[in-house]
Amino acid sequence: MIARSRTSVIMFATLLLGSAAAQTIEVDVTHATNHFVPKETLGAGVDRISVEAIDKDLLQPTLGQTQASGWQPVTYRQNTELAVEAWHWNPQGTWSDASGKGYFTGASTPTEMLRYSYGYGLPRRGFTRNDGTENVGFSRLTDGDLNTFWKSNPYLTQRFTGESDALHPQWVVLDLAQTQLVNSIRIAWGEPYARRYVVQYFTGDDPIHAPTRGVWQTFLQGTVTSGKGGTETLRLANNAIGVHFVRIWMTESSNTCDSDGPADPRNCVGYAIREIFLGTTTADGGFHDIVRHTPDQEQTTTYCSSVDPWHQPSDIGSTKQAQMGFDLFFTSGVTRGLPAMIPVAMLYDTPENAAAEIAYIEKRGYPISYVEMGEEADGQYMLPEDYAALYVQWATALHRVDPGLRLGGPSFTGENRDIEVWPDVNGKVSWTGRFVDYLKQHGRLGDLSFFSFEHYPYDPCRTPWGMLYEEPELVSHIMQTWRDDGIPADVPMFITEGNLSSGASETYQDIFAGVWLADYVGSFLNDGGKGVYFFHYLPLHMEPGCNGSPGTFGMFTINGNYEIQQQLAQFFVAQLINLEWVQPDGGEHQVYSAKGDAEDGAGHELVTAYAVKRPDGKWALMIVNRDQQTAHKVRIAFHGENGQHSTFAGPVEISTFGSAQYQWHPARTRFEAHAEHAAENTVVAYTKGWADPDGPIARAKENAGKDTTYELPAASVTVIRGAVSSK
């Protein structure tokens, strides 16, 4: 949030580039751009990881070494949504069907300790693959089995939304991989089926990843107003048309019950399709199918609007990976005893299960800061009105448990631009704008206590050094975009996951990653951000990255027993941010914006700075030298509103971390030999890379005055902290 204006001073930092004319960074402190409390704002994320990692990362000394990075609040990441799974946050609970299947609700009364929790794959899934972290499973729409079926989410029907099903059209899309000739479709409907639907083709290249670069065109004979269910063969056009993507858009359900019967109304609403066949019909009436039907990801790719969260015990996923159980999460020490941001599953769950989760946590007495509603709805290709309809239902259920809960979402996947979707009837394509519109129209905007998104700005395989110059503008631009879309000024923004990119690479281990981290956090706070969470907090093994090179999202390299071997660049910069720049146990910090004019000749700032006034009365500047090869000198001066000059005066503390303190040596094959028998004993040894030198942060003290200059080494982050005087 933006702080109210305060009469203060204007700060100038003069950069002396060798013998060149002085350069200047101006920090306008006539008013604060933001205010924050570190223990509420500077945090990290804990995700679904292997059971082995859960067991070992929370042991000492590993946990203590991790927390030495200084990150404070923790956000619990809800990964089962990304895998299209139902979340059994409590393995103990009840099924909606007495036979032990259906919709699961975890037990809200605490009994045994929850150490792990698991995801259950959804057998009514319509995705071949989605935009989640785990491309597992397959669609039932083209799996070649008429006994299986896709079914839409019952909570998006009139029975639960209270509004016409036509306002929440459900859809499936087939991707034919290339343009193919089509004039007919055969749909094997399940129960319930669509009474009204249209079959369309896309005029652009990719409706999933470029939804506004083309339009959905209804086939000439593709409109059905009185569907009968069963297996329907529809002649779409007299002549075959070249198409790449085909969509079935459903607006009225038969509301007939599936084989589980009418005892549960969720069995009788929405839409179900057993299999889709697409191709051509010849003059003799023969249907010629071009769809590949197979129960794996080699099938013809399909996407869907939503998935029914119905499942059964046999659908449990691999137990090699687990969500951390809430009791272990809150008692292990990883949260430092601070309130944590907790998720509820929403895209593939029920409001009853979410409400039971919060009731359980509160009965245990564990502190909750915020509740994040669902995970990456845009990555699941969910339309904003559908997400909003679920949001309203879940908010109602959760506020029955605790009216004071602060709810938010949607945890966007990390785009650097506005999220766009197929236009609505008014031509509006902004996901955020339409989400806000829905909440306003239903009088529920007050249920949005925060707006969350993720930030992974770079392609892991293409990160030249010059991309560092983009970061402050990327953060500033996307936050302004959300505001322009309608997020109210008093709704705080959180980056609930963030790092260089969504894929691991050796860039994560390089000094590049540390320099980027300082700009990322500083610019987000300068632009009014409320909370930023580093990802991933706990140490993890290296994983394959670009061109086979290993990488890790974490701050460490570890051995096979999860013991920390080396700290990486982001660990040291995290310490600069959390332990040097801010007062970690302090109260409110004031942020002041900075603007420099030291450039590289192409208009890029070589040096950026972020200023805070701390509760202890000291000023601290975090200065980022993004110049890969050249050091710079900085003279810091404060300039008052009436021309009064001030400087750092007396003892100042200087902490620096850069290429002189840290260098990453990439993975490579090297030859090793015993000296006395080199020829006979030469062996090949593969290493995953190492840092040398590997810290520590360089620290110095200086007695400062108005003429003091400060050295900024090449590719470095420096924190300068001290008192200011006009004398």
CATH at 361? 3.20.20.80
State whether 302 and 357 are in the same domain. Answer: no
| Residue-level pLDDT at 724 | 83
Rounded Cα–Cα distance for residues 428 and 85 (Å): 31
Rounded Cα–Cα distance for residues 660 and 159 (Å): 64
Contact 85, 119 (CB under 8 A): yes
Cβ neighbors of 615 (< 8 A, separation 6 or more) are 583, 586, 587, 588, 589
Average pLDDT, the chain: 91
The first and second tokens of residue 292, run together, are 């590949």
Q: Averaged over 357-383, what is the pLDDT?
A: 97
Q: Is residue 243 assigned to a domain? A: yes
Rounded Cα–Cα distance for residues 715 and 440 (Å): 47
User: Which of 181-195, 458-472, 485-499 is least confident?
Assistant: 458-472
Q: Is residue 145 assigned to a domain? A: no
Cβ neighbors of 125 (< 8 A, separation 6 or more) are 84, 137, 138, 139, 140, 150, 304, 307
List of long-range contacts for 7-12, beta carbons under 8 Å, 24+ apart: 7/641, 8/32, 8/592, 9/638, 9/639, 9/640, 9/641, 9/644, 9/646, 10/638, 10/639, 10/640, 10/641, 11/592, 11/611, 11/636, 11/637, 11/638, 11/639, 12/636, 12/637, 12/638, 12/639
Characterize 386-416 residue by residue with b for buried, 16 or more Cβ atoms within 10 angstroms of its Cβ, and e for exposed. bbbbbbbbbbebbeebeeebebbbbbbbbbe
Number of domains making up the chain: 3
Backbone angles phi, psi at 489, to 5 degrees: -60, -25
User: How many angstroms separate the most distant Cα atoms in the chain?
Assistant: 98
Backbone angles phi, psi at 225, to 5 degrees: -110, -10
3-class secondary structure, 166:
helix
Percent of the chain whose predicted confidence (pLDDT) is above 90: 78
- pLDDT of residue 151 exceeding 80, the answer is yes
Domain carrying residue 682: 9-36+590-725
Rounded Cα–Cα distance for residues 231 and 217 (Å): 24
Rounded Cα–Cα distance for residues 351 and 417 (Å): 31
Q: pLDDT tens digits, residue range 362-372?
A: 999 999 999 99
State whether 21 and 105 are in the same domain. Answer: no
Contact 498, 454 (CB under 8 A): yes
Q: Which of 523, 548, 581 is the last residue of a domain?
A: 581
Rounded Cα–Cα distance for residues 727 and 713 (Å): 29
State whether 523 and 634 are in the same domain. Answer: no
**For residue 337, what pLDDT band results from cuts at 50, 70 and 90?**
very high
| Residue-level pLDDT at 687 | 56
Backbone angles phi, psi at 623, to 5 degrees: -115, 130
Contact 705, 658 (CB under 8 A): no
CATH at 21? 2.60.40.1180
**DSSP symbols for 37-54:** -HHHHEEEEE--EEHHHH
Instruction: State the SS3 of 273-337.
Output: EEEEEEEEECCCCCEEECCCCCCCCCCCEEEECCCCCCECHHHECCCCEEEECHHHHHHCCCCCC
Q: pLDDT tens digits, residue range 460-479?
A: 778 889 999 999 999 999 99
- pLDDT of residue 606 exceeding 60, the answer is yes
- pLDDT of residue 197 exceeding 80, the answer is yes
- The residue with tokens 């687990």 is 322
Q: pLDDT tens digits, residue range 394-435?
A: 999 999 999 999 999 999 998 889 999 999 999 999 999 999
Q: Is residue 365 assigned to a domain? A: yes
Rounded Cα–Cα distance for residues 693 and 568 (Å): 11
Rounded Cα–Cα distance for residues 537 and 554 (Å): 6
Beta-ladder partners of 711? 633
Q: pLDDT tens digits, residue range 24-51?
A: 677 787 889 999 999 999 999 999 999 9
Rounded Cα–Cα distance for residues 57 and 85 (Å): 25
Q: Is residue 313 assigned to a domain? A: no
Q: Averaged over 348-356, what is the pLDDT?
A: 98
3-class secondary structure, 194:
strand
Backbone angles phi, psi at 547, to 5 degrees: 55, 30
Cβ neighbors of 661 (< 8 A, separation 6 or more) are 572, 693, 695, 696, 697, 698
Residue 670 CB neighbour total at 10 angstroms: 9
Q: How far is CA 578 from the centre of its chain?
A: 22
Give the closest residue to 96 by CA, choosing from 137, 154, 150, 159: 154
Q: Averaged over 203-208, what is the pLDDT?
A: 96
Q: pLDDT tens digits, residue range 115-137?
A: 999 999 999 999 998 877 666 78
Contact 514, 573 (CB under 8 A): yes
Rounded Cα–Cα distance for residues 353 and 408 (Å): 18
State whether 158 and 104 are in the same domain. Answer: no
| Residue-level pLDDT at 134 | 61
Q: Is residue 4 assigned to a domain? A: no
| Residue-level pLDDT at 641 | 72
Contact 596, 522 (CB under 8 A): no
Q: Is residue 641 assigned to a domain? A: yes
Contact 559, 676 (CB under 8 A): no
Helix locations, 485-617, DSSP H:
511-526, 569-575
State whether 558 and 690 are in the same domain. Answer: no
State whether 525 and 634 are in the same domain. Answer: no
Q: Which of 535, 563, 581 is the last residue of a domain?
A: 581
- pLDDT of residue 488 exceeding 70, the answer is yes
**DSSP symbols for 224-275:** ESS---SEEEEE--SS-EEEEEEEEEEEEE-----TT-TTSGGGGSS-EEEE
Contact 506, 542 (CB under 8 A): no
User: Which of 5-19, 281-295, 452-466, 565-579 is least confident?
Assistant: 5-19
Q: Which of 550, 581, 612 is the last residue of a domain?
A: 581
State whether 415 and 518 are in the same domain. Answer: yes
Q: How many CA atoms does the CB half-sphere of 144 hold within 13 Å? A: 11
| Residue-level pLDDT at 678 | 45
Q: Is residue 132 assigned to a domain? A: no
Cβ neighbors of 408 (< 8 A, separation 6 or more) are 370, 371, 372, 373, 448, 449, 450, 451, 452, 491, 494
3-state helix, strand, coil in the chain (%, to 5): 20, 35, 45
Would you call the peptide bond into 384 cis, given omega within 30 degrees of 0 as the criterion? Answer: no
CA-angle at 666, arms to 660 and 667, nearest 5°: 150
State whether 78 and 23 are in the same domain. Answer: no
DSSP character for 546?
Answer: G
State whether 187 and 228 are in the same domain. Answer: yes
Contact 332, 537 (CB under 8 A): no
CATH at 190? 2.60.120.260
Q: Averaged over 259-282, what is the pLDDT?
A: 96
Give the closest residue to 508 by CA, choosing from 561, 473, 461, 475: 461
Cβ neighbors of 528 (< 8 A, separation 6 or more) are 1, 2, 33, 34, 479, 493
State whether 508 and 568 are in the same domain. Answer: yes
pTM for the structure as a whole: 0.93
State whether 154 and 108 are in the same domain. Answer: no
Give the closest residue to 530 by CA, choosing from 30, 42, 5: 42
Rounded Cα–Cα distance for residues 132 and 81 (Å): 8
Query: In which region does residue 328 sit, left (phi positive, over 0), alpha (psi from -120 to 50) or beta (all else)?
Result: alpha
Give the closest residue to 174 by CA, choosing from 146, 193, 199, 156: 199
State whether 285 and 177 are in the same domain. Answer: yes
**DSSP symbols for 423-466:** --TT---BHHHHHHHHHHHTT-GGG--EEEEEE--S-TT---GG
User: Which of 393-397, 546-550, 606-610 is least confident?
Assistant: 546-550
Q: Is residue 155 assigned to a domain? A: yes
Percent of the chain whose predicted confidence (pLDDT) is above 70: 93
**DSSP symbols for 693-719:** EE---EEEEEEE-TT-EEEE-SSEEEE
